[in-house]
């Protein structure tokens, strides 16, 4: 009778062992060793290098007829923190995130503050997470359409002096281009002018980036920058030679050219290009017809300068930063 019982025990146990996870099977080995070595708990602990507390805790749960007791149990708290926001706030966060898909909790909370809603950035983050879990919020699919342009030597380079001060608005405006390939066989050139102090941006898009195009962008830059531009900093691209350089000299704007292979020295406009790519080009539904795209880009420029909170400015918009500086008498605005 004992042999038959042992045999049945073994068959049942073998069937259940195949259903165990790796961790549960490892614990089962503890008790196999324990049963075959005089049921010596301390010896078992030394052999498997586990603490007695761990061994005896699992021993209290061990039952050869219910080997699934050796599986890990959920550590989820019995009482979960319930949301403290209402559905109206959740819908407003969803609306803002869908309007500005690349903006995080900090920027969205600033927009909510402007609406008179007293909500923390962490609460906005929890709302976003809950919306994603419910499937109500879907992140836009990245559409990588930009490519780094090739840097070339510039024969007429004027380097920025080491002692050149960058303290006031307009002291340095970084200008650079971004290659856009939105559709097969289509190449567009995006120009950005980025003021280092106020983060104010002026943007334009063209079919090509030539010196005459860059000179025309200089007109756009001065028309839409609400303050005087004292100096411009560019990389060694050919579009910033010839006519562009002549225009800078004619207008009395100092022109600084970066050393070769030094995009990090134009870090402000490079980072702005990433923002424009992620928050505008990758999520826009534009047909990329040039006339329509220019109108949409102009609207994005307005959003960037007057609505989008900037972390580098203490979550002020560039416009609010300029207004704050104007009140202190530190800048002359051209509005």
What is the share, in percent, of the chain residues with pLDDT greater than 90?
A: 52
Extract the tokens encoding 288: 């990329």
Instruction: Give the helix/strand (H/E) hosting 180.
Output: strand 173-180
Residue 266 near residue 235, CB atoms below 8 Å: yes
Of 218, 334, 193, which Cα lies nearest the Cα of 276? 193
Of 195, 233, 230, 231, which Cα lies nearest the Cα of 318? 195
Q: Over its length of 335 residues, how does the chain's per-residue pLDDT go in tens digits?
A: 344 344 445 545 555 676 788 898 899 999 999 999 999 999 999 999 999 999 999 999 898 788 888 888 888 888 877 888 899 999 999 999 999 999 999 999 999 999 999 999 999 999 999 999 989 998 887 766 665 555 444 444 468 888 888 889 999 999 999 999 888 888 899 999 999 999 999 999 999 888 889 999 999 999 999 999 999 999 888 888 888 888 888 899 899 988 877 788 889 999 999 999 999 998 888 778 888 999 999 999 999 999 999 999 999 999 999 999 888 765 544 44
**Backbone angles phi and psi of 84, in degrees to 5:** -105, 5
According to the model, what pLDDT value does residue 313 have? 93
According to the model, what pLDDT value does residue 161 have? 80
Listing DSSP states for 100-165 in one string gives: STT--HHHHHHHHHHTT----HHHHHHHHHHHHHHTS--PPPP---EEPPPP---SS--PPPTT--
Extract the tokens encoding 295: 């109108």
Q: What is the pLDDT of residues 232-267, one digit of tens each?
A: 999 888 888 888 888 888 899 899 988 877 788 889
For residue 190, give the 3-state DSSP assignment: strand
Extract the tokens encoding 118: 């007293």
Residue 144 near residue 134, CB atoms below 8 Å: no
Exposure class string for 54-87: b at 16+ Cβ within 10 A, else e: ebeebeeebeeeebeebeeeeeeeeeeeeeebee
Extract the tokens encoding 21: 């996870």
Report how far residue 224's alpha carbon sits from residue 316's, in angstroms, rounded to the nearest whole number.
Answer: 19
């Amino acid at each position: 009778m004992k042999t038959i019982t042992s045999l049945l025990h073994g068959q049942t146990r073998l069937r259940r062992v195949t259903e165990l996870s790796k961790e549960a099977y490892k614990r089962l080995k503890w008790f196999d060793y324990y049963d075959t070595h005089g049921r010596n708990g301390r010896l078992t602990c030394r052999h498997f290098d586990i603490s007695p507390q761990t061994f005896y805790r699992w021993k209290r749960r061990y039952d050869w007829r219910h080997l699934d007791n050796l599986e890990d149990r959920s550590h989820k708290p019995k009482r979960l923190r319930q949301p403290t926001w209402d559905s109206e706030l959740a819908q407003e966060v969803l609306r803002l995130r869908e309007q500005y898909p690349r903006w995080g909790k900090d920027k969205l909370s600033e927009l909510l503050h402007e609406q008179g809603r007293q909500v923390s950035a962490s609460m906005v983050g929890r709302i976003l997470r809950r919306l994603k879990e419910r499937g109500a919020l879907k992140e836009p699919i990245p559409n990588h359409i930009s490519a780094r342009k090739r840097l070339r030597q510039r024969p007429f380079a004027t380097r920025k002096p080491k002692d050149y001060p960058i303290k006031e608005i307009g002291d340095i405006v970084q200008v650079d281009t971004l290659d856009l390939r939105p559709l097969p066989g289509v190449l567009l050139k995006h120009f950005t002018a980025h003021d280092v102090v106020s983060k104010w941006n002026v943007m334009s898009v063209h079919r090509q980036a030539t010196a005459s195009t860059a000179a025309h962008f200089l007109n756009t830059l001065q028309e839409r920058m609400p303050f005087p531009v004292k100096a411009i900093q560019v990389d060694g691209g050919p579009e910033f030679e010839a006519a562009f350089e002549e225009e800078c000299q004619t207008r009395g704007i100092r022109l600084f050219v970066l050393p070769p292979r030094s995009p990090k020295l134009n870090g402000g406009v490079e980072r702005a290009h990433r923002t424009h790519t992620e928050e505008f080009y990758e999520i826009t539904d534009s047909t990329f017809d040039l006339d329509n795209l220019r109108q949409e880009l102009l609207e994005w420029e307005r959003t960037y300068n007057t609505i989008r909170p900037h972390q580098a400015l203490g979550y002020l918009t560039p416009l609010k930063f300029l207004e704050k500086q104007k009140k202190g008498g530190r800048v002359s605005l051209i509005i």
